[in-house]
Amino acid sequence: EAQVTQNPRYLITVTGKKLTVTCSQNMNHEYMSWYRQDPGLGLRQIYYSMNVEVTDKGDVPEGYKVSRKEKRNFPLILESPSPNQTSLYFCASTLGGEGTDTQYFGPGTRLTVL
Amino acid sequence: GENVEQHPSTLSVQEGDSAVIKCTYSDSASNYFPWYKQELGKRPQLIIDIRSNVGEKKDQRIAVTLNKTAKHFSLHITETQPEDSAVYFCALERYSTLTFGKGTMLLVSP
């Protein structure tokens, strides 16, 4: 089954404790993105990747890191989480290119930073 | 980045009525305009999309219209049903990444 998976689905942590949210897709997609969703603000892009070892900042990259060492995986790293990073996070992937724009979203990760 | 304005932020209708949500944007280079539906606690799901070479697309009770000259696109839902209640997001695509509107909460009352 074609899908995007994220882990963990729920996480409660404390300020400053490094964490990683994993994202994996099995569709051989070139493009992957991370979004955060906050009430009244919609979904805002954090980082995106156009291929292995190619990443770029989205609209709200501060406090986050990503890596793309393999095509299928695109982990989101919070080196020193703060309470303002409490949010719902979605990973998404797309094949990319004209006519193949459909984005596939993961199930989401609800993060609480105390 | 690209800015997308979405209106209204909330919309309440009676079952059977029509609902219209509108988005405006500024970047004329965008060519792909999807609409997503998000039910409570779930991921966004693509419900319809339109490309810049067409002005309208319809799928059963859902339609999307695009006016590239005026830089706006709209979602139309006819004969609304309670299960249409959700948050709807417009988006536009550039370089295979999406910029989203802030969402419209649609409430359909029986």
Q: Residue B54 has what pLDDT?
A: 82
Which of A39, A48, A55 shows the shortest CA–CA distance to A92?
Answer: A48
Q: Is the dihedral of CA B27, B28, B31, B36 positive or negative?
A: positive
Do residue B97 and residue A59 have CB atoms under 8 angstroms apart?
no
- Give pLDDT tens digits for B46-76: 999 998 888 899 999 999 999 988 999 999 9
- Give pLDDT tens digits for A73-112: 999 999 999 999 999 999 999 887 665 578 899 999 999 9
CA distance B82 to chain A (A): 22
Q: Chain B residue closest to A101 (CA)?
A: B96
**In A, what residues contact B, Cβ < 8 A?**
30-31, 33, 35, 40-45, 48, 50, 58-59, 90, 92, 94, 96-97, 101-103, 105-108
Tell which of B31, B43, B93, B100 to mutate to test the A interface (max A CBs under 10 Å). B43
Tell me the C-alpha to C-alpha distance, in Å, between residue A47 and each of A34, A61, B20: 6, 6, 31
Residues B71-84, mean pLDDT to the nearest whole number:
96
Run of H or E including B44: none
